[in-house]
Amino acid sequence: MSKATKYVSKAADENGFIHWTDEENSIWQALITRQLPLMVGRACDEFILGLEKLNLPTDRVPQLAEVNEVLLATTGWQCEQVPALIGFEKFFSLLSQKKFPVATFIRSKEEFDYLQEPDIFHELFGHCAMLTNPAFANFTQAYGEIGLAASKEDRVFLARLYWFTVEFGLMKTKDGLRIYGGGILSSPGETKYALEEGNAQRRFLTNEEQVIDVLRTPYRIDIMQPIYFMIEKMSDLDAIRNLDLMSLVAQAKALGLHEPKFPPKEKIAS
């Protein structure tokens, strides 16, 4: 979260309104109209229901106030405008207050298919629909509370739990495998990749032993994931947040990390 970025969040005016350019609105339109058809039969029911509640515009970037009206009415959450990158302390603090950090910039055409920084499309489309669901919203708030109290070293372990649930979580339902993680839901490539057989390992995440497994699993942010973790129902997140997660972090630290399922990232020569 502390690395440099070329993107700068747009400031709101005195009324909280962000003035997006025609090009920025067209990028949003292209992103959302590409992604919406992919959700059918792939996204979990809770996400689809959340999207219906949000009723995001397809022709322009939404205003945060529009999204907040729905989030406040459903789970008491709201979006909080932040700079393009924020530190862990601020991140955990906002989540603990039921405030979801949203960087108010949208990717450039040059990085239309992938960018490492989470932009407003990733945050609003990928995450906010799920934040209308009480189990998901409560899990996210509890994660913020735990992370805020954790040490810097423990936060590195906790980040893996967030990554494999909120960002890249899958759900094994009676109708088949579905997606609830925002990192997948906002990516056309990974939306297809995550559900195709043979692309990646899939492990369950429904008990203490499996949470320890998650905490020990390395990941990279710039590749398709070689491992996904599956819950069976959204209330599984309630069960996970009610565990003694810091005790499980201690056990994961004692056991050490699993061997990565991916090659190390190549360093760019200076």
Question: Of 122, 123, 187, 190, which one is the catalytic site residue?
Answer: 122
How would you class 25 by CB atoms within 10 Å of its CB: exposed for 0-12, middle for 13-18, buried for 19 or more? middle
Distance (Å) of CA 213 to CA 130, 189, 227: 24, 26, 11
Nearest Cα residue to 143 out of 132, 129, 157, 158: 158
Residue 151 is a catalytic residue: no
Residue 110 is a catalytic residue: no
Cα separation, 222 vs 235, in Å, equals 30
Cα separation, 151 vs 225, in Å, equals 27
Enter the tokens of residue 135. 């189990």
Residue that the structure tokens 């495998």 belong to: 177
Residue 122 is a catalytic residue: yes
Label the pairing between strands 176-179 and 170-173: antiparallel
Question: Of 24, 46, 123, 167, which one is the catalytic site residue?
Answer: 167
Question: Of 24, 46, 127, 190, which one is the catalytic site residue?
Answer: 127
Residue 123 is a catalytic residue: no
For residue 222, the SS3 value is coil
Question: Of 46, 96, 123, 186, which one is the catalytic site residue?
Answer: 186
Enter the tokens of residue 96. 């603990």
Which amino acid appears at position 124 of this protein?
A: L
The residues annotated with a catalytic role in the active site are 122, 127, 167, 186
